[in-house]
């Protein structure tokens, strides 16, 4: 176990250093420009109202994005330091929880935080959108960190009985319900199970608060404006059932590939937890992961970046169930360690390529070895300078030739294509009528 921990810790530190280096070449992209444009044009209050009524109910996540600093950050500093700040925050919050729940020393807690960061990173469906796209990280990565803080506050409230921790927990619940729908459903499900296990006034207050603000998020007019109706009746329900099954199989397959290694690395923690809870209780908490999978099937959403919270939660809770019944599976951890660095498993045609399984290890290595990140940054900055300094209403720029694997990059439509949202966002931000790339 110690040998496996040391190897994974070494890899985690290397991955962290590699991702920090890649971040040096990160630039603003797509919605970063649009969020800044909308806030400057409408003001914070009107921008919030318009977003809630026409786009979606992520009242906290979208509000954070309204402060996107692209307009004031001419040196492109924030895209380079923000991802590293969030990664360190994840490790730090994880360390605080390991210290609080397992009474570890500060050094041991930091070590465990790095180990958890390793598994979180390799499970990501879209590492570029999760870590390096500022608008995306505020919707998907920041809430994961906030969920860790909520876990810490709840433990402090339980241990000290001081109401300040309970009120802080309530605040975090309100924020998380408006961060993104998937994590909101997971937190709501955990609170429901916690209240079922221990029915007291505080747990009831947390559940009711979560329920109210979950409805505030889900019933936003913007959510309904974006829903499209294509089929009706039995066909639509068949698609929903099929998509739920496909999504669940994807999540289960990705988790099972690294489950033995996770159990090997966190064997000590799993032993402590399983000694304090029953198998039934572990199953109840694992079932929470099926709620968002049912939801994504219902709204006909297939595997994408919003599934990352599900996969991570599925791994942690399912590892407890397996540890109760099949502890010896941890011996296969060395196979899992090898699998992590295999290339993407391309088993599906292009139309369904999002179901191909990728554990990110190979992508990170190849990004560092093969991508000219400095050239990519130069091309992107040159493009922005050309658009910004052009006196014409119509601007045509070169395509980006050095396209990274890990940094978030979504190319514009060319002069012979219909414009995409990328073109539209840049046109609005730079006040141009026409922006395209050369053919």
Per-residue pLDDT of the chain (439 residues; tens, 9 = 90+): 788 899 999 999 999 999 999 999 999 999 999 999 999 999 999 999 999 999 999 999 999 999 999 999 988 999 999 999 999 999 999 999 999 999 999 999 999 999 999 999 999 999 999 999 999 999 999 999 999 999 999 999 999 989 999 999 999 999 999 999 999 999 999 999 999 999 999 999 999 999 999 999 999 998 887 665 555 678 888 888 998 999 999 999 999 999 999 999 999 999 999 999 999 999 999 999 999 999 998 888 888 888 999 999 999 999 999 999 999 999 999 999 999 988 887 878 777 777 888 899 999 999 999 999 999 999 999 999 999 999 999 999 999 999 999 999 999 999 989 999 999 999 999 999 999 999 8
For the record, the structure tokens of 96 come out as: 């605080």
pLDDT at 395: 95
pLDDT at 407: 95
pLDDT of residue 106: 94
pLDDT reported for residue 346: 80
Among 364, 346, 342, 343, CA closest to 355: 346
Distance CA 312, CA 186 (A): 11
Contact call for residues 333 and 264 (beta carbons, < 8 A): yes
**Does residue 228 contact residue 284 with C-beta atoms inside 8 Å?**
no
**Between 233-265 and 267-274, two packed helices, what is the crossing angle to 10 degrees?**
110
Question: Which of these, 311, 305, 315, 281, lies nearest to 293 by C-alpha position?
Answer: 311
Contact 152, 427 (CB under 8 A): no
Cβ burial, residue 13 (10 Å; 0-12/13-18/19+): middle
**How many Å apart are CA 414 and CA 1, to the nearest integer?**
53
Could you tell me the two tokens for 430? 């730079």
Q: Are 197 and 213 contacting, i.e. CB atoms less than 8 angstroms apart?
A: no
Separation between Cα atoms, residue 107 and residue 165, nearest integer Å: 25
User: What is the pLDDT, as a whole number, of residue 314?
Assistant: 97
Positive or negative, the CA dihedral 244, 246, 249, 251 is: negative
- Per-residue pLDDT, 229: 55
CB atoms within 10 A of CB 72: 9
> Which residues, 6 or more positions from 431, have their beta carbon under 8 angstroms from its beta carbon?
none
CA–CA separation, 327 and 334 (whole Å): 15
Q: How far is CA 396 from CA 229, 416, 438, in A?
A: 36, 12, 6
Burial of 308 (0-12, 13-18, 19+ CB in 10 A): buried
Structural tokens at position 135 = 């608008």
How many other β-carbons are positioned within 10 Å of the β-carbon of residue 123?
A: 23
């Amino acid at each position: 176990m110690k040998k496996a921990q040391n190897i994974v810790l070494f890899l985690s530190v290397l991955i962290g250093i590699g991702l920090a280096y890649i971040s040096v070449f990160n630039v603003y992209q797509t919605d970063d420009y649009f969020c800044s444009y909308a806030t400057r044009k409408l003001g914070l209050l009107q921008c919030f109202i318009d977003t809630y009524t026409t786009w979606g109910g992520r009242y906290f996540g979208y509000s954070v994005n309204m402060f996107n600093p692209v307009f004031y950050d001419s040196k492109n500093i924030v895209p380079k330091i923000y991802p590293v700040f969030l990664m360190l925050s994840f490790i730090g919050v994880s360390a605080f929880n390991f210290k609080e729940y397992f009474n570890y020393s500060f050094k041991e807690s930091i070590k465990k935080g790095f180990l958890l960061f390793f598994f979180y990173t390799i499970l990501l469906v879209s590492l570029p959108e999760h870590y390096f796209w500022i608008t995306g990280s505020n919707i998907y990565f920041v809430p994961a960190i906030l969920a860790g803080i909520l876990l810490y506050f709840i433990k402090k409230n339980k241990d000290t009985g001081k109401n300040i921790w309970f009120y802080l927990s309530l605040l975090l619940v309100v924020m998380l319900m408006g961060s993104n729908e998937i994590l909101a459903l997971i937190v709501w499900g955990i609170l429901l199970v916690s209240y079922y296990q221990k029915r007291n006034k505080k747990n009831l207050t947390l559940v009711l608060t979560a329920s109210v603000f979950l409805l505030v998020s889900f019933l936003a007019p913007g959510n309904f404006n974006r829903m499209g109706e294509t089929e009706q009746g039995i066909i639509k329900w068949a698609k929903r059932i099929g998509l739920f099954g496909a999504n669940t199989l994807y999540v289960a397959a990705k988790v099972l590939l690294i489950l033995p290694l996770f159990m090997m690395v966190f064997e000590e923690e799993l032993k402590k937890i399983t000694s304090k809870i029953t198998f039934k209780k572990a199953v109840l908490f694992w079932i929470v992961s099926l709620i968002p999978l049912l939801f994504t099937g219902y709204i006909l959403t297939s595997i994408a970046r919003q599934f990352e919270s599900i996969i991570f939660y599925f791994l942690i809770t399912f590892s407890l169930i397996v540890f109760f019944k099949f502890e010896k599976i941890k011996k296969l951890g060395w196979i899992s360690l090898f699998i992590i660095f295999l290339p993407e498993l391309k088993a599906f045609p292009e139309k369904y390529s999002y179901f191909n399984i990728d554990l990110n290890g190979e992508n990170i290595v190849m990004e560092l070895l093969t991508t000219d990140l400095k050239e990519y940054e130069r091309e992107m900055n040159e493009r922005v300078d050309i658009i910004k300094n052009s006196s014409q209403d119509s601007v045509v720029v070169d395509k980006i030739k050095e396209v990274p694997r890990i940094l978030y990059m979504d190319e514009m439509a060319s002069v012979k294509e219909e414009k995409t949202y990328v073109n539209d966002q840049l046109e609005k931000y730079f006040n141009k009528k026409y922006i395209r790339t050369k053919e």
